[in-house]
Structure 1
Amino acid sequence: MSSYILGIDVGTTSVKAALLETGSRSVIASQTAPTTSDIIDSTGIKAKEQHTGRIIDTLNRCVGSLPRDKLQHVGSIGLSGQMHGVLFWRGRAGCDWSNGDSFTPRGASQLITWQDGRCSSDFLLSLPKPESHLNVATGFGCATILWYTRHRPGFLVDFTVAGTIQDYVVSMLCGLDWCAMTPQNAASWGFFNTSSNQWNTEILKEAGFPLHLLPRCVLSGDLAGQTWSDWHGVPAGTPVGAALGDFQCSVYSCMRARTDAVLNISTSAQLTFAMPADFKPPDHPPPPPSSVSYVPYFKDSYLAVAASLNGGNVLAAFVEMLAAWLKELGTELSETCLYEKLIHCGLGQESSDLRVSPTLLGERHDPLCLGRVANISAANLSLGHVTRALCHGVLDNLTSMMPAERLRQAGVRRIVSSGSAVVRNEVLRQEVEKAFPFAVEYGQDADSAVGVAMALSDLR
């Protein structure tokens, strides 16, 4: 009888669940669904939150749609998800299992995501310097909690545990009163030393941080516990891995050699390569903030990553803008139809002297670097020019953060490119191939749900 690993990714816009056959390591079934969980900010503080209940409902629907006869033979569960963000709950009382073999949140907060902007530059400058090689930015869990301690301390009183959305799911599946967090997610929160695998507790304590909300650190690949109830056919007592980062798991799913660099353009964009096995990060963040970070991977190794906040989301913003303009002019086209027409226009324009810097969200290393358009003339205002220039700008921004020469010096020989924006947009694929003097492969799509299942299989 075959056994399976259930891999789950709780992403920014969707949830995916995949069943990996243990022996062949092939995906025999998967389900993906959008969460449609974004909450419109009416506070004026640039909050970016998602409805936790909708995310968990989508998770239950995805897992429940997999073949139940195979779920009954799941030998372990691995979870990854969107990093940096934070939600709060009250131990094992943070969910309700009364609906049979699924759970719903109870008394948990909304998810404050990695896109949250409430921590202004002035606020971040007021925070103590971390004892870590990684800087702290808005949207990072520890920064968000410190914001609450100063601006809404009463909010935190109701909660005993904090973690990422994937940590929350692990805790609820295992019936834990605490949160187990791996270095991959802890590093994304800030104030975490990846060399010692410890939080900067003394620094945080002096800053007024509620230390009881800090998760317990476990190694990437460790188990957090076992399911304490049947879950859509997955038996109680099934081992559950401590949650991993979606970025690391997506890289794990498609990086086949140390000479590969992985380019992913989905909601945001990342370009990464593996550091040498003996690499150790510096003790403190570089001044000024660097566009390249070193994030923990597996087995004490690191990835060098240029993580841009601006990827497919800026293309989506352009489409939304055009749809709004058309509506104001008395006509309407669906955003899907508009996107297809824009790609067609862009393909008809092989290049453009229009220059678009599409940093609508700024960047973590330079939050005030917002978008701009230059070299405008009467001859380059067509939709073809603008679409081509926008796609070029997404790549130009990313390669300004991590130039091709740096990849060459690291021994990179191939770009493995993936992500929903690349899959949908041939213009973007053309710009990828122009941006790098390496072979570009599209065949192996980065998949965090598959990656977390593969990692759990390899590391146990």
Structure 2
Amino acid sequence: MAQGSVSGQYVLGIDLGTTSVKAVLVESKTNRVTDSQTRQTNADISSDTGIQAKEQDAGKIVDALSECIAALPKYKLQGVVRIGVSGQMHGVVFWKAGKGCDWLSIGECHMFQPIDVSPLITWQDGRCTREFLSSLPLPDSHLSLATGFGCTTVFWYLKHRPDFLTPFTAAGTIQDYVVTMLCGQERPVMSVQNAASWGYFNTKANEWNEEILRKAGFPVWLLPRVVESGSIAGETFSEWHGVPAHTPVGVALGDCQCSVYSCMVEKTDAVLNISTSAQLAFALPPAFQPPQSPDPSSPLSYFPYFDGCYLAVAASLNGGNVLATFVGMLTEWIRELGLDINNSSIYTQSIQAALNQHSTDLLISPTIFGERHAPDHLGSASSISAANVSLGHMTRALCRGIVQNLLSMLPPRRLQESGVQRIMGSGNALSRNKVLKQEVEKAFPLPVVYGKDVDSAVGVAMILSDRIC
């Protein structure tokens, strides 16, 4: 096909991840991915709120997004008929309603840049301690509260830094912010998926716990209007990198749900995703209703999916980030010994050592980041002997620990009882790590299938594509 001709219509799928941004073009009739671009955000910033804070520069995230879109074929962008946006759940960013960005024209390119936008406080943020969370009012929701959730973060600022909130009149996840700016809207619109991830949202009534929040002094004017997941939030305010003005934009969705949607081929599939964090999820039947009240000690959550259905999700905070921490530790040790070797080489050699070490009696609990249902249950190692402290033993035990921790949250027996017939294995950490794959296949009594990797950008594009009339 010659450049400049468009054979079909495209859906632009965007995912604003924890470490990178991805944009894909998907043919609306076939769901075939024709083009893809990814950029690292390098957006992490230091915070003056304490060692447990995890914040990112929203401007750098938007810059990475602009780079991704600008690198896609412009003649195909001109054929985009819908835009879908997903992103990291739970986190919160603040801005001034109606004033969150400036639209710029550089040559023939039109883009937006954030103006007076706060840092993104991410899902990894740990400033809300267990004691602080226990001081908050109980939500009217089946989902428990946790640190890193949008509403709990607002409560933290109200108590510790109330002046921080004063300049802002709008808030949302980072993906809600991007949709709001693209559509030139005064205030954000939020999906049920993202609202549930913030806390204090009742998924049965589809409404915020406004009365509970108002009595606690919460600034309820910051809460976005909530609409059904998969619906249209608005239209593009301007031409954007070649995407026509007035292109419909879907309400921003959660990356977990979009990831599952991208690779769940059959309703009897469960999806295992090990990337920065790790998730094991399967779809529940339409008749399922979650419990009336939250169980903070339960490792299993029921996230709203699509069309009134729920996902059963074991969402671990410990996945590829644990391996990255391990590699970083080894790198630092080696440097302290006066040697120099890069992270990539250490990772490769660690995996090879573990492949040569087929089994180990070393036990590692890898929960160095805690878990939402057990934030104080940190990592540990046991059964250490002089014979199992090699690099191979350590790496294999760590990979096995990541898998076993996830299965302790959602046992294979529960999957089988729910009718799950196979596991769709996916995620960057899993796809590039043969040792993790080996440990997954040992742990599950069900077939494990690879090759249809989870991809939130593809998933959100598929969702919008499937809803084109």
* 2:376 partner amino acid: L
Distance 1:86 1:38 in 2: 14
Equivalent of 2:407 in 386, 396, 399: 399
Task: Name the residue aligned to 2:302.
Answer: 294
In structure 2, which of residues 345, 353, 363 is the aligned counterpart of residue 355 of structure 1? Answer: 363
- Does 2:177 align with 1:168? yes
TM-score scaled by structure 1? 0.99
- In the alignment, the residues of structure 1 paired with residue 105 and residue 370 of structure 2 have an alpha-carbon distance, to the nearest angstrom, of 43
The 5 A counterparts of 1:39-78 are 39-78=45-84
1:332 offset after TM fit, Å? 1.2
After TM superposition, which residue ranges in structure 1, 4 or more long, deviate above 6 angstroms?
Answer: none
Determine the C-alpha separation between the residues in 1 that align with 2:78 and 2:152: 41
Give per-residue Cα distances to partners, 1:309-351, cap 9 Å, x unaligned: 0000000000000000000000011000100000000000111
Contact in 2 for aligned 1:343/1:387 (Cα 8 Å): yes
Gaps of 5+ in 1: none
Secondary structure at the aligned position of 2:205 is classed as coil
Equivalent position amino acid for 2:130 in 1? S
For 1:98 and 1:415, the matched residues in 2 are separated by 46
Task: Specify every segment of 5 or more residues in structure 2 that has no aligned partner in the other structure, as ranges.
Answer: 1-6
Instruction: Give a deviation string over 1:407-435, Cα, whole Å, max 9, x none.
Output: 11011110001001011110000001011
Distance across 2 between alignment mates of 1:175 and 1:208: 30
Aligned to 2:104, the other structure's residue is in SS state: coil
User: 2-side partners of 1:258 and 1:173: how far apart?
Assistant: 34
Counterpart of 1:34 in structure 2: which amino acid? Q
1:6-405 equivalences in 2 (<5 Å): 6-100=12-106, 101-286=110-295, 289-405=297-413
Alignment partners' CA distance in 1, 2:166 and 2:377:
36
Q: Normalising by the residue count of structure 2, what TM-score does the alignment of the two structures yield?
A: 0.97
Q: What does residue 4 of structure 2 align with?
A: none
Equivalences, count: 459
Task: Determine whether 1:425 maps to 2:433.
Answer: yes
SS of aligned partner of 2:367: coil
Q: Is the 8 A contact 1:227 1:238 kept in 2?
A: yes
Per-residue CA deviations over 1:266-313 (Å, capped at 9, x if unaligned) read: 000000011111001111112x52000000000000000000000000
CA distance in 2 between counterparts of 1:273 and 1:95 reads 38
CA contact (8 A) 1:90 1:177 kept: no
CA displacement at 1:42 relative to structure 2: 4.6
Residue 209 of structure 1 aligns with an amino acid whose one-letter code is F
Letter in 2 for 1:344: Q
Q: Which amino acid in structure 1 is aligned with residue 124 of structure 2? A: Q
Deviation readout 1:199-234 (Å, 9 max, x if unpaired):
000111111100100010011111111111110000
Give, in angstroms, the shift of residue 45 of structure 1: 4.7
Q: Aligned Cα RMSD in Å?
A: 0.9
CA distance in 2, matches of 1:263, 1:196: 30
Whether contact under 8 Å (1:92, 1:171) holds in the other structure is no
CA contact (8 A) 2:29 2:465 kept: no
